[in-house]
Each structure stands twice: as structure tokens, then as C-alpha cells.
Amino acid sequence: MNEFKNFINGEFVTTSSGKTFENRNPVDNSLIGMVHEAGKPEVDAAVQAAKAAMKGPWGKMTQAQRIEMLNRVADRINERFDEFLDAECKDTGKPRKVASHIDIPRGAANFKAFSETLANHPTEAFKLDTPDGKGALNYGHRKPKGVIAVISPWNLPLLLMTFKVGPALACGNAVVVKPSEETPATATLLGEVMNECGVPPGVYNVVHGFGGNSAGAFLTANTDVDAITFTGETSTGETIMRAASVGLRNISMELGGKNPGIVFADCDMDKAIEGTMRSAFVNCGQVCLGTERVYVERPIFEAFVQRLKEGVENLKLGRPEDPEVDFGPLVSQEHKEKVLSYYNLAVEEGATVVVGGGIPDMGAELNAGAWVEPTIWTGLSDDARVVNEEIFGPCCHIRPFDTEEEVIELANDTQYGLAATIWTENSSRAVRVAEAMDVGLAWVNSWFLRDLRTAFGGAKESGIGREGGVHGLEFYTETKNVCIKL
Ligand code: NAD
């Protein structure tokens, strides 16, 4: 039986309360192991370990030494690639084909890319004239913020966690990570890697547990945490903002979305179909940037719906190990219930089910897993709940449109503002529409194409702040102005 322990001050520890919870594989609902749930004493110990690490060898290291160490961490993840892959696929059920291409390599790369950004990004300097004619010199100095709480979701566990831990550590902070209760494995495994690479105790800590009245809430309530970076649902973000207001602590929020895909009649249809297949169905639709609302210009509407339907019918569902499989289960039974409730609601709201809409028959071995069918709807009204609420499943609604103005209005008519995808071969239109989108990320003729040097984050209720590239430096450091009178 696997055990997932907390990682505090360089050691794997159980909990004083002895509380554990189950970690199950969503492919067949089999038990992977037991997770030790951190109580307040463990969370507080992790925060104190992080605080102490800032005063120990870690706090005294040069930037170059830190960067070298983090490069070793990236290399070591790649050396233990198969273990990370196995752990991630068991926790999430996602196909190895997906995780070996996205989750693990990008998770490792996060430790290298931000180090490079930090090493190559200057701060500002100004010479000030003074009445005595001698002047003063100002320069910006970046100091680490201190202890950063990293609270992450289950959909891309390693990747989204290291997207925060990488820059936080590169900037010289110490972290306490609270991974999702659904996916404790890779964050735990990373503890071993940190020790193997000589990262001092207390720099990287992991506490397991749930949100409210558990590890998540204990962590955000601890005022020795200097800043909180969170990825997850918008409503959880609101709760965490309230906690962070005590002691006026900084936050970075990457939250939910209901992202539009806009397909113009002048698009390259093959690219648009291939891109929408990925943006709506990869990772069983559990990607924050995924497309759940597709708007297609009327002349190609029928053809687009037909071709996307054929794409869905060709998806191969099955076990993660099967190299042919491109579609796995949802992350948990609980999430399956949520997604299925939207499948039923879509029918109640008058949708035409183009394909899917139910539970696939996966055979006796897998039927206990969290499987749902990839699903396409048409015919819903713009105010239907299915068109407005984030489902976070393998499904999309497709609606025709007639003009550019109309589709801009429709795409922006949401409280969310994370991502938009635009398919057109007309570059003037592409720029015009991309700039009109009220989102943090707009893709033209692509999706999920990420350059780690660029800003990442959401507008409206999809987030606060930007991470990625130099933008992360703003959050993970405190910029101080040093003024020297000459
Ligand atoms: P969630 O909000 O339920 O949980 C996220 C994390 O927060 C988990 O670790 C959870 O235990 C913790 N948490 C829950 N309540 C808490 C509380 N009161 N205090 C402290 N911590 C608490 O989200 P989820 O279901 O794990 O993930 C799916 C959601 O994440 C979707 O809404 C998706 O859009 C969003 N997401 C956003 C991005 C982005 O970059 N914008 C990326 C991935 C996922």
C-alpha cells in the first residue's frame, strides 16, 4: 500500500492526529494508497520550516548557486521521468501519451525557464539631479518575498504546481505547497528530488489535505505566510482572498474560465478542427484554457459540426498505458457527478446532443472508473446555464454566428476572461478580434502554445495578476528602491 506523507523540513512525516484519506485511481476506482492529512500543527511546522530556511543557507545563496540547484532539480525530474509519469497517470487517469508530452516535461522545464528569466532581467536605474549638483543614484533591488503558499488544482498537478514553485524558488523564496487532495503523488515525489539535489531543508514543503477546515485553510490563515499563489475555482479564490486580507498579504489568482473558440469561414478548416478537438477534449476537457463555447460562422457551421463529431467518434478511450489511447476518465467520481449533471441539464435546457451525452460502457474492469462520453451540443440559447457556467469536462456547445461584431459581443458576454481561440487566415481580422477579446490569453490558429517568457493569467473573474516571464518576478519579489546620494 502506497503512503503519501507530508514533506516538512526535508523529511517525510505522518500527522499527529493519525488522520488519513484514500487516494483512488479514476480509471477503475482502485485504491492507490493512503494520504496523511496535515492538521494545523503540521501546517504551522511547515511554515516555520520555510521561514527558518530563509534565514539559513538558502537565504545566503547567490542567485547563480540557486539557479544551478534548480537546473539540477529539472534534470533529476527528467531522470526520474517514468516515476513521475506513472504517479501522475495513476492520480489523474490521463493517458501516458498526454502526460509524457505535456505534464512531466513542462513540469521539469518550469525550473529552468524562470531561472533564465531571472538571470537575464535587469532592474531599473535612474540618476537624479540634485541642487548641489552632485546628484543621486537610484537602483531597484529585488528581494524575495519570504514564505509563499502554493495551492494547486488536480488537472495538471505537477505542471501547474511547478509553474509557481519554479519562479518562487528562483527568486529565493521558500514554499509550502498544498496540492489537490485528488492528486498528492507528484508533489510528494518532488520532495525526494529536492533532497537528492541538495535543496536545503524547509525550502520546499508539502502539506496534504482538503480546503476548508483542513490543510488549505490552515495554510492561508497562517500570517507567517507572506504571499499566496492559487490556481483553482473562482469561488475558492474568493475564500482565499478573504483569508489573505488578514495581515494584508499579496495574492496571485489563476481561476476558472468559460472560454470561447471563434471559427471564421475563412479559416483553415483542418487546423480549426484539429485545434478545437484538442482545446475541447484533451485531458478529458479538464484544462482551464479549454474551449467550452464554440462559435462558427454560418456558411461553414454544418460542415464544422459534422467534422468535429467525426473527430469525437474517432477518439480512443481506455487505460493510460495503451499508446493508442487519447482520452481518459475524469479525475474523480465527484467530478463525474458534476459533469453528468450538466449533461442532463443540457437536455433539459433544450440542447440537441450531436454526440455523446452519457457514460460509455468501458467493460467490467473499468466501469467503476470516472468515465463520461466526450460530448457536443448545439441549439442552446445564449442564456442557458450550460453555455455560461464552467463545466470542466469533455464537452462544448457550438453556435452559428453571422458577423464579426456579433461574435465579439457573444464571446465577451461572460463573467470569465481567461482565454480565447480564433481561427481565421485573415491576419488583420485575427489581430482585430484578438485585441477585442476581454481575456488574459488570446490564441490565433493555435491553442495552449505557451512561451514561458510571456504573461499568463486571466481577466475578470478568471484571475488577478500575471505570472510567467518577468511578470512572475513582480509577484515573487519585493522591489525596493535604493537611493544613494553622491
Ligand atoms: P478547487 O478550487 O476546488 O481546488 C484547488 C485547490 O484549492 C485544491 O488544492 C483545494 O484543496 C484547495 N482549496 C479548496 N478550498 C480551499 C480553501 N477554503 N482554502 C484553501 N485552499 C482551498 O479547484 P479544482 O477543482 O482543484 O480545479 C479546477 C478549477 O481550477 C477549475 O475551475 C479550473 O478552471 C481552475 N483552473 C484554473 C487555471 C488557471 O490557470 N486559470 C488552471 C487550472 C485550473
Is any ligand 1 atom within 6 A of the Cβ of residue 220? yes
For residue 16, pLDDT over 90 is answered with no
How much is the pLDDT for 117? 84
Q: Is 303 left (phi over 0), alpha (psi -120 to 50) or beta?
A: alpha
For residue 363, pLDDT over 90 is answered with yes
How much is the pLDDT for 60? 96
As a whole-number percent, the residues of the chain with pLDDT over 70 amount to 100
Mean pLDDT of 92-104: 97
Distance from residue 322's CA to the centre of ligand 1 (Å):
29
Q: With CA atoms as reference, report the closest residue to 445 among 420, 474, 418, 473.
A: 420
Atom of ligand 1 at shortest range from CA of 237? 2
Is any ligand 1 atom within 6 A of the Cβ of residue 463? yes
Mean pLDDT of 152-164: 98
For residue 480, pLDDT over 90 is answered with yes
List, for residues 180-223, the tens digit of each pLDDT value: 999 999 999 999 999 999 999 999 999 999 999 999 999 999 99
> What type of residue is 271?
K
For residue 118, pLDDT over 90 is answered with no
In the block, cell 518532488 appears at 190
List, for residues 443-472, the tens digit of each pLDDT value: 999 999 999 999 999 999 999 999 998 999
How much is the pLDDT for 187? 98
Residues 184 and 373: their CA atoms lie apart, in Å, by 26
* DSSP codes joined into one string, 374-397: -EEEE---TT-HHHHS---SSEEE
For residue 130, pLDDT over 90 is answered with yes
C-alpha cell at 233: 475555482
Mean pLDDT of 268-296: 98
For residue 119, pLDDT over 90 is answered with no
Residue 254 annotated among the catalytic residues of the structure: yes
Is any ligand 1 atom within 6 A of the Cβ of residue 207? no
Domains along the chain with CATH numbers:
2-255+462-485 (3.40.605.10), 259-451 (3.40.309.10)
Is any ligand 1 atom within 6 A of the Cβ of residue 290? no
How much is the pLDDT for 226? 98
Report the nearest-CA residue for atom 14 of ligand 1. 211
Report the nearest-CA residue for atom 34 of ligand 1. 256
For residue 252, pLDDT over 90 is answered with yes
**b/e map of 79-99 (b: 16 or more CB within 10 Å)?**
ebeebbbbbbbbbbbbbbbbb
Residues 78 and 87: their CA atoms lie apart, in Å, by 14
Atom of ligand 1 at shortest range from CA of 254? 41
C-alpha cell at 343: 449533461
Mean pLDDT of 113-122: 86
Q: How confident is the model at residue 116 (pLDDT cuts 50, 70, 90)?
A: confident
CA dist 145 to 151, 157, 328, Å?
17, 24, 39
Is any ligand 1 atom within 6 A of the Cβ of residue 233? yes
pTM assigned to the model: 0.97
What is the CA 444 to chain-centroid distance, rounded? 21
Is any ligand 1 atom within 6 A of the Cβ of residue 254? yes
How much is the pLDDT for 349? 98
**Which of 102, 176, 231, 415 to mutate to test ligand 1, by most ligand atoms within 8 A of the CB atom?**
231
